[in-house]
Amino acid sequence: QKALSSPMLLLTGGPGTGPPLVIKGIGELYSELHGVSLDPGDYKKDETFPVLLAAPTGRAAKRMSESTGLPAVTIHRLLGWNGAEGFTYNEDQPIEGKLIIIDEASMLDICLTSHLFKALPKHIQLIVVGDEVQLPSLGPGQVLRDL
Give the chain's domains with CATH numbers: 2-37+49-146 (3.40.50.300)
CA distances from 142 to 45, 53, 67, 101 (A): 35, 21, 25, 18
Residue 147: closest CA among 81, 99, 87, 102: 102
The phi, psi pair for 63, rounded to 5°, reads -60, -40
- Give the per-residue pLDDT at 74: 97
Angle (nearest 5°) at CA 2 between 124 and 28: 70
Instruction: List all residues 6 or more positions away from 94 whose beta carbon is below 8 Å from its beta carbon.
Output: 119, 120, 121, 124
pLDDT of the residue at 21: 84
pLDDT at 1: 67
Compute the mean pLDDT over every residue in the chain, rounded to the nearest whole number: 87
Report the pLDDT value the prediction gives residue 134, as an integer from 0 to 100: 74
Q: Which residues contact 47 (CB under 8 A, 6 or more apart)?
A: none
Higher pLDDT, 114 or 20: 114
Q: How confident is the model at residue 11 (pLDDT cuts 50, 70, 90)?
A: confident
Q: What is the reported pLDDT for 62?
A: 96
- How far out from the chain centre does Cα 44 lie? 21
- Per-residue pLDDT, 5: 79
- Per-residue pLDDT of 60-111, as tens digits, reads 999 999 989 999 999 999 999 998 889 999 999 999 888 999 999 888 999 9
Coil, helix or strand for 53? strand
> 31-67: string of b/e by CB count within 10 Å (b at 16+)?
beeeebebeeeeeeeeeebbbbbbbbeeebbebbeee
